[in-house]
Amino acid sequence: MKDLRGKVAVITGSSRGIGKAIAIELAKNGAYIVLNGRDASRLEAATEEVSKIHNKVVSYCCDVSQPEQSEELIKAAIDNYGKLDILINNVGVSMRGDVADLKPQVFKKVFESNVFGSVNPTIPALKEIRKTKGSIVFISSLAGIRGLPYLSAYSSSKMALRAIAESIRIEEKSNDVHVGLILVGITQIEHNKETIASDGSKKILKKRDASKVDSTNTVAKKVVNNIKKRKFITTLTTIGKVNKFLQARFPMLVERIILGNLSKFQEKSE
Ligand X SMILES: NC(=O)c1ccc[n+]([C@@H]2O[C@H](COP(=O)([O-])OP(=O)(O)OC[C@H]3O[C@@H](n4cnc5c(N)ncnc54)[C@H](OP(=O)(O)O)[C@@H]3O)[C@@H](O)[C@H]2O)c1
Smallest distance, Å, CB 55 to ligand X? 21
Does the protein bind ligand X through residue 151 (CB under 6 A)? no
Say which residues have a Cβ less than 8 Å from residue 255's Cβ, sequence separation at least 6.
Answer: none
**Hey, which bits of the chain come out as E strands?**
8-11, 32-37, 57-61, 86-89, 135-141, 178-184, 194-196, 202-204, 233-235
**Hey, which bits of 150-201 come out as E strands?**
178-184, 194-196
Q: Which stretch binds ligand X (CB under 6 A): 14-22, 101-109, 129-137, 168-176?
A: 14-22
Q: Are 12 and 90 in contact (CB under 8 A)?
A: yes
> 5 vs 212, which CB is nearer to ligand X?
212
Site for ligand X in 62-101 (CB under 6 A): 63-65, 90-92
> Nearest 5 degrees, angle CA 223-CA 89-CA 106?
125
Please classify residue 42 by burial: count the beta carbons closer than 10 Å to its beta carbon, then call 0-12 exposed, 13-18 middle and 19+ buried: middle
Does the protein bind ligand X through residue 121 (CB under 6 A)? no
Candidate list 18, 88, 106, 151; residue touching ligand X; CB under 6 A: 18
Candidate list 7, 8, 11, 16; residue touching ligand X; CB under 6 A: 16
Site for ligand X in 167-226 (CB under 6 A): 184, 186-187, 189-190, 193
Q: Which residues of 193-227 are buried (b: 16+ CB within 10 A; e: fewer)?
A: bebbbbebeebebeeeeeeeebebebbbebbbebb
> 65 vs 226, which CB is nearer to ligand X?
65
Does the protein bind ligand X through residue 38 (CB under 6 A)? yes
Q: Are 203 and 96 in contact (CB under 8 A)?
A: yes
Does the protein bind ligand X through residue 13 (CB under 6 A)? yes
Q: Which stretch binds ligand X (CB under 6 A): 34-42, 96-104, 170-178, 241-249?
A: 34-42
Q: Which helix (H) or strand (E) holds 77?
A: helix 67-81
Does the protein bind ligand X through residue 17 (CB under 6 A)? yes
Does the protein bind ligand X through residue 15 (CB under 6 A)? yes
Smallest distance, Å, CB 68 to ligand X? 13
| Alpha-carbon distance values, 148 to 77, 151, 197, 240 (Å) | 37, 6, 16, 13
The catalytic site residues sit at 140, 154, 158
> 119 vs 130, which CB is nearer to ligand X?
119
Does the protein bind ligand X through residue 44 (CB under 6 A)? no
Q: Which residues bind ligand X (CB under 6 A)?
A: 12-19, 36-39, 42, 63-65, 90-92, 113, 117, 139, 141, 184, 186-187, 189-190, 193
